[in-house]
Chains A and B, each alone.
Chain A
Amino acid sequence: MAATLWQAFAWWGPFSPKLFPGVDKIVSAFVRLMVTGILPVHAFWTLVRLVVGFGLGAALGVAVGMAMGRSRWAEDLLLPIVSVGNPIPGLAYAPLFVIWFGLGDVPAILLVGFAASFPVAVNTWTGVKTVKEIWIRAARSMGAGERQLFRKVVLPGALPYLLTGLRLGLARAWRVLIAVEMLTSVRLGLGWLIFGAREFLNTDVMLAGIAVIGLVGLGLEKLVFERLERFTVVRWGMLTA
């Protein structure tokens, strides 16, 4: 249905076929770039940046969120920063990061991590706050110390929110990453592929790149997060599927 509309627009719309390629052109560009290994290589490097950047950001976000949830002092100190920082689009910092860290992978990865850490921190904090008091009391009455309480009660108790935070953080990381790849001139990457293709009006390549971005995003959601949730919080009845 969407493909049909697209095709109709390509034929009868105001754009020339060069600027607005038909579905057939996009698919053939996609296949060509896949077979020649160009798309997989770009996608691979984008994913590497995503994994490293998001990994750093998630670790930072969980640590900050946990600290805020567990200590009044950390909450007073960090909550204003996190609250103000959270709604700012990560990309706004991109020029700063380029000035600080130059071009290439380093600013891209750091910015991705930085942008991802905010939703993770906010949701982890909320998660810790919603851990039921009665679980804490039950665990304490059975002799749980601070560490055991944290590992065996607070962490799993906060997991529904924590997973939501990771999911939002990953979505944000993904968005920032594609954009920042266009800005920091990385050597290989989907954002850079799309940006570079503009020079030669290779709209079919650009759209093939966009399709991969969509597919990867969908894959992360379906294969990683839905599974993670199904095996944990859904199975535990803490979240209805």
Chain B
Amino acid sequence: MSAAISHLELRQISYVYDAGGRAVPALQDITFGVGASEFVCVVGRSGCGKTTLLNILAGFLGPTRGEVRIGGKAVTGKGLDRGIVFQDFAQLFPWRTAQRNVEFGLEMKGVPRAERVETARGFLRLVGLEAFAAAYPHELSGGMQQRAAIARALAYNPSVLLMDEPFAALDALTRDEMQRFLVDVWRETRKTVVYVTHNVAEAVYLADRIVVLTPHPGTVRAEVKVPLPRPRDPLSVEFVEAQRRVLDFLR
């Protein structure tokens, strides 16, 4: 455990779903912590329950057993203490401009208009979309849409950022660029991040620590620290070595 006290704690989370009368365990006894401002990647192959896990953290699903704690308090349901970025580009509201999309959470919070506009503008600047504030989502490229989605999830100032393979649908070059960009944003905002992915290289590039899940049912196979300095060089020996260590647990 990298921090003595974890900001986000998962305590013996199990999730069982019902498949036509048959109880199927999807997650079993998932326990790990994420320190404040720590970047943790959850890695596993498809079907290992990593998205289910993220949905539990987000509050979309209640765990069958176990609990999630943020800042020492048990959380149930959704809350503005967590921001979520999905994989699907369609997560932005097409009827709102980039600016108005970013304002959405602030609107729900009841932040006055002038302040809302100001804050949203600041976050668009952070993600490099200031010039596209008035653009509608369909006028933005996939990468830009995901940037806007990140700005939207950050704008209402959650302490935890949950990301579900946000770059998986991007082309390889844009993905590399977005990974560099995300590290910059994270360093600037110091959020506690849980990032789900099946891409080991991506996890090694981004994470302070990698939680490896294995399927049927989803269990924590290992936790791998990535002590490499940033920005990381994906072609360096140390980087490849770290990848190999993670991959060994996935085989």
Chain B at the A interface: SS class:
mixed
| CB pair A236 B136 closer than 8 Å | yes
Pick the residue among A134, A145, A157, A236 that contacts B88 (CB under 8 A): A134
Identify the closest chain A residue to B60 (Cβ): A137
| CB pair A232 B95 closer than 8 Å | yes
| CB pair B104 A156 closer than 8 Å | no
Pick the residue among A159, A232, A237 that contacts B137 (CB under 8 A): A237
A235/B136 contact (C-beta < 8 A), A143-B105, A144-B108 known:
yes
| CB pair B91 A134 closer than 8 Å | yes
A143/B88 contact (C-beta < 8 A), A236-B95, A236-B136 known:
no
| CB pair A142 B108 closer than 8 Å | yes
Report A120-155 CB contacts with B as 1/0, cut-off 8 Å.
000000000000101101111111110010001100
| Whole-angstrom distance between the Cβ of A183 and the nearest chain B Cβ | 42
CA of A50 to CA of B6, assembled, Å: 65
Asked if B216 lies at the interface with its beta carbon under 8 angstroms from chain A, I say no
Pick the residue among A137, A142, A232, A235 that contacts B105 (CB under 8 A): A142
CA of A193 to CA of B238, assembled, Å: 89
Mark the stretch among B74-82, B115-123, B190-198 that contacts chain A: B74-82
Pick the residue among A138, A143, A237 that contacts B136 (CB under 8 A): A237
Pick the residue among B58, B94, B136, B137 that contacts A141 (CB under 8 A): B58
Identify the closest chain A residue to B156 (Cβ): A142
Asked if B98 lies at the interface with its beta carbon under 8 angstroms from chain A, I say no
CA of A159 to CA of B79, assembled, Å: 28
Identify the closest chain A residue to B105 (Cβ): A142
Identify the closest chain B residue to A156 (Cβ): B95
Asked if A96 lies at the interface with its beta carbon under 8 angstroms from chain B, I say no
CA of A5 to CA of B223, assembled, Å: 84
| CB pair A236 B94 closer than 8 Å | yes
CB contacts (< 8 Å) of B80 on chain A: these are: 142-143
| Whole-angstrom distance between the Cβ of A231 and the nearest chain B Cβ | 11
Report A52-87 CB contacts with B as 1/0, cut-off 8 Å.
000000000000000000000000000000000000
Identify the closest chain A residue to B106 (Cβ): A142
CA of A159 to CA of B138, assembled, Å: 16
Report B220-247 CB contacts with A as 1/0, cut-off 8 Å.
0000000000000000000000000000
CB contacts (< 8 Å) of B176 on chain A: these are: none
Asked if B109 lies at the interface with its beta carbon under 8 angstroms from chain A, I say yes
A237/B156 contact (C-beta < 8 A), A134-B88, A141-B84 known:
no
Q: Which of A132, A137, A142, A159 has the most CB of B within 10 A?
A: A142
Identify the closest chain B residue to A237 (Cβ): B138
Q: Which of A132, A138, A156, A235 has the most CB of B within 10 A?
A: A138
| CB pair B78 A140 closer than 8 Å | yes
Asked if B186 lies at the interface with its beta carbon under 8 angstroms from chain A, I say no
CB contacts (< 8 Å) of B139 on chain A: these are: 237
CA of A138 to CA of B96, assembled, Å: 14
Asked if B93 lies at the interface with its beta carbon under 8 angstroms from chain A, I say yes
Identify the closest chain A residue to B86 (Cβ): A134
| CB pair A138 B84 closer than 8 Å | yes
Pick the residue among B83, B84, B86, B138 that contacts A236 (CB under 8 A): B138
Report A221-241 CB contacts with B as 1/0, cut-off 8 Å.
000000000001001111000
CB contacts (< 8 Å) of A236 on chain B: these are: 94-95, 136, 138
CB contacts (< 8 Å) of A235 on chain B: these are: 136
A140-B60, A143-B78, A238-B94 are known; give 19 further A-B pairs, CB within 8 A.
A134-B88, A137-B84, A138-B86, A139-B104, A139-B108, A141-B82, A142-B80, A142-B108, A142-B156, A143-B80, A143-B108, A143-B109, A145-B108, A156-B93, A156-B95, A157-B95, A159-B95, A236-B94, A237-B138
Residues of A whose CB lies within 8 Å of any CB of B are: 132, 134-135, 137-145, 148, 152-153, 156-157, 159, 232, 235-238
10 A-B pairs closest in CB distance: A237-B138, A142-B105, A156-B95, A143-B108, A236-B94, A141-B84, A236-B95, A143-B80, A134-B91, A138-B91
Q: What are 24 A-B residue pairs whose CB atoms fall within 8 Å in the complex? A: A134-B86, A135-B93, A137-B60, A138-B104, A140-B78, A141-B59, A141-B83, A142-B80, A143-B79, A143-B80, A145-B108, A152-B104, A232-B95, A235-B136, A236-B94, A236-B95, A236-B136, A236-B138, A237-B94, A237-B137, A237-B138, A237-B139, A238-B94, A238-B95
